[in-house]
Amino acid sequence: MTLEATCCCKQISITLSDKPEMNSVCNCTNCKQRTGSAFGISTYFKTNAVLEKSGETKIYKFWHKEQDHEQNRHFCTQCGTTLYWTISTMPNLIGVAGGCFSASEIVEPTHTLNNSNKCQWISFPSNWQVQE
């Protein structure tokens, strides 16, 4: 199985082998701001699942106060899409923006993270794992 995620303008991409280790919806303020939406879809793979990264990215580096970790987000210099990131507390994983996979490759999330910060009008399936 091979999955490819691309930015909006298709100038950068990441190709991965294997299925995700975790696929989650994150309700933290930072993911809301990163996506401009009510939550972010974060798909995590083992770092050794990365087959190829193409195109030039810039890195936005910051300390995530809510989660108490550092993130390095790689985004497209043309369209600004955040495509993938690394997190200091999960050194063996790489996160990929779930919405950047083709529609047929977007896997249903199994977790909802930072649920205490979710928008009140959102509800998630009862079989998902919940982290407040």
Domain chopping of the chain, boundaries: 2-130
pLDDT of amino acid 131: 87
32: Cβ–Cβ under 8 A, 6 or more apart, which residues?
A: 38, 39, 40
Are 84 and 95 in contact by the 8 Å Cβ rule? The answer is yes
CA distance linking residue 56 with residue 85, whole number of Å: 14
Backbone angles phi, psi at 99, to 5 degrees: -75, -5
CA distance linking residue 94 with residue 31, whole number of Å: 15
CA distance linking residue 7 with residue 54, whole number of Å: 11
- For 106-129, the pLDDT digits (tens) are 888 999 998 999 999 999 999 999
pTM of the model: 0.91
Nearest residue to 81 via CA among 103, 107, 105, 99 = 99
> Mean pLDDT across the stretch 63-89?
92
pLDDT of amino acid 106: 80
Residue 66 has pLDDT above 80, yes or no: no
Residue 104 has pLDDT above 80, yes or no: no
pLDDT of amino acid 117: 92
Who wins on pLDDT, 97 or 62?
97
Q: Which CATH class is domain 2-130?
A: mainly beta
CA distance linking residue 123 with residue 119, whole number of Å: 9
